[in-house]
Structure 1
Amino acid sequence: MSLMQRLEMRQGQALVMTPQLLQAIKLLQLSHLDLAAYVDAELERNPLLERVESEGDVERTPGETPSESSVDRQGDEGGDFEGSDFDGGDEPWIATTLTASGADMESALDTRLDNVFSDENPSHAREAASGDMLSLTPAPYGNTGGSFDGDAPDFEATLTAETSLREHLAAQLDLATRDPVDRLIGGFLIDAVDDAGYLRESIEAVAERLGTSLDTVARVLKLVQGFEPAGIAARDLAECLALQLRDRDRFDPAMQALVSRLDLVAKRDFPALRRLCGVDDEDLVEMLSELRRLDPKPGRAFGARAVEVLIPDVFVRAAPDGSWLVELNAESLPRVLVNQSYYTRVVRGAVAEGDKAFLSECLQTANWLTRSLEQRARTILKVASEIVRQQDGFFLHGVAHLRPLNLKTVAEAIGMHESTVSRVTSNKSIGTSRGTLEMKYFFTAAIPGAAGTASHSSEAVRHRIKQLVDGETAKDVLSDDALVQKLKDEGVDIARRTVAKYRESLRIPSSIERRRAHLTSAR
């Protein structure tokens, strides 16, 4: 057998994960906050990208044609949509609207750049606009955003930061002791206190790490636990409550016994608590009321994080003809355009090959970013529209009519891959008349129906369990077996362990604990 070399040509297809494709996939799964941070970073890096805050910010200079606009949209032509209406197949009941990345970008072709010098001196703006100098002229030296006629400084410069829990405790430690060893140990203990106010490191580990005795660390810990707020630096909930009761001079033997058995308090085992504390019903009720007035997380009053409001990516509202309007939230979509004329003017003056290569790379990156943002908006709208179509009963009647739904069903309906739908629905939410809900909320497991009936959504079954428990009376407390039977009577074939799991996920106590609670409230 002879060996020989020969040259052959073969034709085939293969998917190449280019950097641009990876970028589009990455943008697809980002939340609107992460997307805004990513776009801000690109705006800082790429001089050809410009942010459009409102429709009036982008205009064409007099005498320019749309093709010569100084802000050119490099968008994706065609795509999965025709114009701005979603192709819903044979069911024309749903209408969709593409905003910001679609319609607003289309309108940008017929507008002009009005004023890119809003933060600068008007005279400098006119000089830059009339001459051949670059349009991105920096502000005059010493101008920090205001004018030279005595405007007030930036309001943010006058704000002060909130005092953190560590700073609050450290200030008290400085006043409590002058011993440098105690200050060192106290500072280490304060650093080990979490945001809720609990000490998350054992005193044995602290003593070993600092090379000191256990008694010394315990003594300093007792000093720190005397700081405000009461209950700080506790090692567990019982110690936290005990510290607050001592501060109020209410830690008597009966209360001490009550705090030592918080498990019985959680189970509402009042007969056992009465025997343990040696009190009657009236005293026990008073002790439990005082226990509820204590703060189980004393550190949350300091340096608390601001509450983040869930901003919907898509809005769903009823149309006058009975259909549903699905539209993107323009406030959550960054409006980024490519300054084509700026690139043309700068590349003419570039002499070095490195400068031209840099500008070409910036232009390519900017074009891909705008295309990726527009395609991301189209894909989100397409997936959200299919979710609304599948869950029409939820939007009309509520949670009880939520249907079982998975990613594969949506992917097959809109002709996309299942992984793409998974990325789209991650970190996204839909604003409805029933509140703002994550897209993942609408994907629920199927519970088979009894006697061959249609399957039910697990979320709808969970909601029904809560309704049945809320309708209980002291004489008719439903056990898990009773809940199973009632659900089977309604056509839901469900196991007892599944009911118990759903009940626990809803933080509903067992039937014994609920019966005790009803008896206590009746007294």
Structure 2
Amino acid sequence: MDFSLNLAQEQKLIMTQQMQLSVKLLQMSSYDLQEYIENEFQENPILEVEYENKKQEEQKDIIEYKELVKYLEFDNYSSQNYKNYNEHDEISPFNFISSEKSLKEYLYEQVSELNEDDYTKAICEYIIESLDSKGYLSLSIEDIAKELKINIDTFNDALKIVQNFEPDGIGARNLKECLKIQMRKKHFLDDNICKIVDEHLQDLSENKYQNIAKALNITVKEAQTYGDKIKTLEPKPSRGFFTGEEVKYVSPDAYIRKVDDKYYIEMNESLMPRLSINSLYKDILNQEKDDVATEFVKEKINSAMFLIKSIEQRKSTIYKVIEKIIELQYDFFEFGKEYLKPMTLKQIAESLNMHESTISRAIKDKYIYTNKGTIKLKSLFTTGVYSLKEGEDISVFNIKKEMKRLIEKEDKNKPLSDQVICEKLSENGMNISRRTVAKYRDELQIKSSSKRKRF
């Protein structure tokens, strides 16, 4: 055992707080960054935040609304009144004509049309308020009756009224009752179909018609016919109705505009407020009377300046990444998703002399607006399989598309197994394993060959 001193040289990369902040800002979505800036504004008195663009948009909305009122002065509401309307404008004239109707509103309208006393209508309304997001009455009947201080028979009478409302299946206690209500209304409820719903829904979901046929003592084809009828029913009665939650629209981080034969990037400046330094605090530095105040101001100015620079750096990095993506995926922007080429983070990182993690952060939760719609940047990154025929990589999208085409054209009496699909893809130069075929099939939500078989 001995104690000694040694000198050694080594290199270490230590991330400062500023570097950590820069990385953090890069991977933030526009919404998260707005929240972060707002918090910084509350904590840093040096920071000035201007929402000029948003004010201009609000003013623009007011002007467009005034213009819209002119349309309403006419009695004729034909399409010629809207011939000058641009589909890319922020406010559509049709938004002022109609509104979405929720499921509860639709059911309340049917209650108001009932030829029943107010007492019964009140119970029906209570049932409507007790429905879950699927349109089912998942609460216990006994508990509801006890809470309303009514007997079970009275409650069941009101429940039957609600279950006769549209959409079909509303007010059911479970999936089986929901299906039976719909079958009764469609007039194809018999003993066999009831038994399938009560005892063989699992077999039905897996297309095990042989099991159903054996249990019901009918042919496999008859069992399949019953199954086809059941599969036309709606397991979620509330589907298609407004749920009360507004759809969250994504604001793109950049717009891709095509001018002649070239694509240009226009960063969405309206997402971010304009940041600057409050000039009042500069006087404190010039006066230099209070050392404590001066030090405080210097610290806050440095913090504000670094935030401004980091946001500019973030914008610059995202711009460079989008620019490289457009270069590599030019055919996609021209012709659509079928021409999406395999592209990896490593490929972009090497071409821009950046680290893969930087590219990953730059595309996280970022969107671009193109002539193909609003696209998530991450969706443009796909792996590929080398094709011996074509001599280049084939994107996973095209492999899935070919798989879907093969399955759509197959003989439904003898569906293609995953191994056969694998062999047919290999013939077309798409060299993937049977396990990969099964994985892609699951992602496409296509059942296995045994469950696709028709009798």
TM-score class, shorter:
0.5 to 0.7
State the distance in 2 between where 1:222 and 1:455 align: 63
State the distance in 1 between where 2:336 and 2:408 align: 17
Q: Provide the residue aligned with 1:494 in structure 2.
A: 432
Going by fraction, where is helix more abundant, 1 or 2? 2
The one-letter code of the counterpart of 1:31 is S
State the distance in 2 between where 1:224 and 1:30 align: 52
What is the Cα deviation at residue 438 of structure 1?
2.0
What is the Cα deviation at residue 439 of structure 1?
2.0
Give 1:507's match in structure 2, choosing from 445, 452, 455: 445
What is the Cα deviation at residue 405 of structure 1?
2.3
Local SS of the residue matching 2:255? strand
Q: Provide the residue aligned with 1:336 in structure 2.
A: 274
What is the Cα deviation at residue 33 of structure 1?
1.7
Q: Provide the residue aligned with 1:33 in structure 2.
A: 31
- 2:201 aligned with 1:262: yes
What is the Cα deviation at residue 354 of structure 1?
5.2
Local SS of the residue matching 2:374? strand
The one-letter code of the counterpart of 2:282 is T
State the distance in 1 between where 2:190 and 2:41 align: 64
Q: Provide the residue aligned with 1:310 in structure 2.
A: 250
Give 2:361's match in structure 1, choosing from 397, 415, 423: 423
Deviation per residue, 1:339-367 (Å, 9 max, x gap): 34232256679976555444333322221
Give 2:234's match in structure 1, choosing from 274, 294, 303: 294
Contact 2:102/2:241 (8 A) holds in 1: no
- 2:25 aligned with 1:20: no
The one-letter code of the counterpart of 2:431 is D
Q: CA, structure 1 residues 293+26, in 2 after alignment: closer, same or farther (shift >3 Å)? A: same
Give matches, 1:104-503, under 5 Å: 195-196=133-134, 237-238=175-176, 240-242=178-180, 253-260=191-198, 261-267=200-206, 276=216, 289=229, 292-296=232-236, 298=238, 303-320=243-260, 322-331=261-270, 333-345=271-283, 355-450=293-388, 453-471=391-409, 478-503=416-441
What is the Cα deviation at residue 299 of structure 1?
8.6
Q: CA, structure 1 residues 511+164, in 2 after alignment: closer, same or farther (shift >3 Å)? A: closer
Q: Provide the residue aligned with 1:99 in structure 2.
A: none
State the distance in 2 between where 1:342 and 1:314 align: 34
Q: Provide the residue aligned with 2:74 in structure 1.
A: none
The one-letter code of the counterpart of 2:26 is L
Q: Identify which range, 285-294 or 46-55, moves more after superposition.
A: 285-294
What is the Cα deviation at residue 386 of structure 1?
1.7
What is the Cα deviation at residue 453 of structure 1?
3.3
Unaligned runs of 5+ in 1: 58-161, 177-182, 208-217
What is the Cα deviation at residue 419 of structure 1?
0.9
What is the Cα deviation at residue 462 of structure 1?
1.2
The one-letter code of the counterpart of 2:254 is V
Q: CA, structure 1 residues 290+262, in 2 after alignment: closer, same or farther (shift >3 Å)? A: closer
Local SS of the residue matching 2:447? coil
The one-letter code of the counterpart of 1:325 is Y
Contact 1:196/1:298 (8 A) holds in 2: yes
State the distance in 1 between where 2:273 and 2:420 align: 56
State the distance in 1 between where 2:336 and 2:159 align: 49
Contact 1:405/1:445 (8 A) holds in 2: yes
Q: CA, structure 1 residues 3+277, in 2 after alignment: closer, same or farther (shift >3 Å)? A: closer
Q: CA, structure 1 residues 371+432, in 2 after alignment: closer, same or farther (shift >3 Å)? A: same
Aligned residue pairs: how many? 388
What is the Cα deviation at residue 437 of structure 1?
2.6
What is the Cα deviation at residue 382 of structure 1?
1.0
What is the Cα deviation at residue 490 of structure 1?
1.9
Q: Identify which range, 424-433 or 452-461, moves more after superposition.
A: 452-461
Q: CA, structure 1 residues 493+357, in 2 after alignment: closer, same or farther (shift >3 Å)? A: same
Q: CA, structure 1 residues 299+398, in 2 after alignment: closer, same or farther (shift >3 Å)? A: closer
Local SS of the residue matching 1:54? helix
* Root mean square deviation, CA, Å: 5.3
Contact 1:195/1:299 (8 A) holds in 2: no
State the distance in 1 between where 2:379 and 2:211 align: 42
What is the Cα deviation at residue 416 of structure 1?
0.5
The one-letter code of the counterpart of 2:402 is R
Deviation per residue, 1:447-485 (Å, 9 max, x gap): 232479333222221122223334557689544344333
State the distance in 2 between where 1:360 and 1:420 align: 30
Contact 1:197/1:233 (8 A) holds in 2: yes
Q: Provide the residue aligned with 1:149 in structure 2.
A: none
State the distance in 2 between where 1:515 and 1:12 align: 66
Contact 1:241/1:296 (8 A) holds in 2: no
State the distance in 2 between where 1:470 and 1:380 align: 40
Q: CA, structure 1 residues 344+249, in 2 after alignment: closer, same or farther (shift >3 Å)? A: farther
- TM-score norm. by structure 1 comes to 0.57
Unaligned runs of 5+ in 2: 57-100, 112-118, 121-125, 144-151
